């Protein structure tokens, strides 16, 4: 159990590493396509959230080739993020990008992706190894934030990285307000499927991160949805099985100051209209001034909740044995 907590507590130092990173000199490009899966791919979602409202576009591709059709037209810089360097979907996408003549940048610890980078002289960021990919979000998302600044998509992130690092360090201190909140929320979620709702670029990206962390760390089912879209479908999905859902599911709402003002109203009304069928067990608000700090504040909260849920369930949060079994089966195909 303590091994995962130790990894979670490295997040501040990971972010500071990204702050001090020497980024490759790259030509400006406001069109970015990030390829990655799982704990590596979430970095692309972080980047897309940071780019909201800018003149650039950060699209995230999670899967195999082909490339999106628009990529042939606008020639995005392809950022391939794979912590291990051996993610088959990402390698497949990189092959398609190379064939199409697109500029490629890699973010990895090594593996096949590092080999391809060296062979093709692609700019690369070598990320420190030794963690579970999902626990390396500070390295991966921090490196991408620096890359996006170099490419001209987002403004300088130095101050934001400093703020984020200090914020997560404080959060992971036992007895902090965030720690106590996570502990209480985890206890309320024990024995339930967690549903995480977000309502804007920051809160929705964090909701996705919460979902995947609960999956991998606590080995529990979870899902995430986004306001206002869920008010056009999911809200009525609670009507038919209330005797089941109110005993087995719990909703957590994530909020951010940048969420649209109408999202706040929708959140309040949605909880009132569905609380007969599903308990709303907590609301977690982003902290910090910069977009990156607010995103990392919600991220660390979810990481702690997932770790504490694992403890409540008596499972080791580190191994992901079913994923490893799947990879071995795919090698045989």
Which sequence positions are flagged as catalytic? 216, 232, 327
Residue 330 lies in a domain: no
Query: What residues in the chain have per-residue pLDDT under 70?
Result: 1
Residue 218 lies in a domain: yes
Number of C-beta neighbours around residue 143 at 10 A = 25
Q: Do residues 141 and 287 share a domain?
A: no
Q: Do residues 11 and 151 share a domain?
A: yes
Q: Is residue 245 reached through a cis peptide bond, with omega within 30 degrees of 0 on the bond before it?
A: no
Is this structure's pTM higher than 0.85? yes
Domain, as residue range, for 190: 168-313
At residue 13, the 3 state secondary structure works out as helix
pLDDT of residue 168: 98
pLDDT of residue 331: 86
Residue 323 lies in a domain: no
Q: Do residues 57 and 189 share a domain?
A: no
Q: What is the β-pairing status of strands 280-285 and 249-255?
A: parallel
pLDDT of residue 286: 98
- Beta-bridged to residue 252, according to DSSP, are 196, 282
pLDDT of residue 333: 76
Residue 326 lies in a domain: no
d(CA 208, CA 62): 14
Q: Do residues 55 and 151 share a domain?
A: yes
pLDDT of residue 1: 58
pLDDT of residue 55: 92
Contact predicate 251/276, CB 8 Å: no
């Amino acid at each position: 159990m303590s091994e995962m907590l130790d990894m979670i507590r490295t997040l501040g130092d990971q972010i500071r590493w990204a702050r001090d990173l020497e980024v490759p000199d790259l030509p400006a490009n406001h069109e970015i396509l990030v390829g990655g899966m799982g704990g590596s791919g979430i970095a692309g979602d972080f980047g897309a959230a940071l780019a909201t409202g800018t003149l650039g576009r950060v699209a995230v591709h999670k899967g195999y080739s082909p490339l999106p059709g628009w990529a042939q037209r606008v020639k995005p810089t392809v950022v391939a993020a794979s912590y291990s360097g051996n993610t088959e979907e990402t390698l497949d996408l990189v092959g398609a990008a190379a064939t199409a003549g697109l500029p490629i940048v890699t973010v990895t610890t090594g593996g096949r992706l590092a080999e391809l980078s060296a062979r093709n002289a692609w700019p690369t960021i070598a990320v420190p190894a030794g963690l579970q990919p999902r626990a390396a979000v500070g390295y991966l998302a921090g490196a991408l934030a620096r890359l996006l600044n170099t490419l001209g998509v987002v403004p300088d992130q130095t101050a934001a990285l400093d703020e984020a690092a200090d914020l997560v360090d404080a959060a992971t201190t036992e007895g902090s307000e965030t720690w106590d909140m996570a502990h209480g929320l985890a206890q309320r979620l024990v024995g339930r499927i967690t549903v995480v709702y977000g309502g804007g670029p920051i809160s929705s990206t964090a909701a996705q991160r919460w979902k995947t962390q609960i999956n991998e760390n606590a080995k529990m089912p979870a899902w995430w949805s986004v306001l206002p879209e869920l008010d056009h479908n999911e809200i009525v999905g609670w009507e038919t099985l209330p005797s089941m859902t109110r005993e087995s599911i719990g909703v957590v709402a994530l909020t951010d100051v940048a969420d649209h003002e109408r999202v706040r109203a929708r959140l309040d009304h949605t909880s009132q209209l569905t609380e007969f069928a599903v308990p709303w067990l907590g609301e977690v608000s982003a902290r910090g001034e910069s977009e990156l700090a607010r995103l990392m504040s919600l991220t660390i909260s979810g990481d702690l909740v997932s770790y504490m849920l694992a403890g409540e369930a008596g499972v080791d949060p580190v191994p992901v044995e079913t994923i490893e079994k799947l990879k071995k089966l795919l090698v045989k195909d």
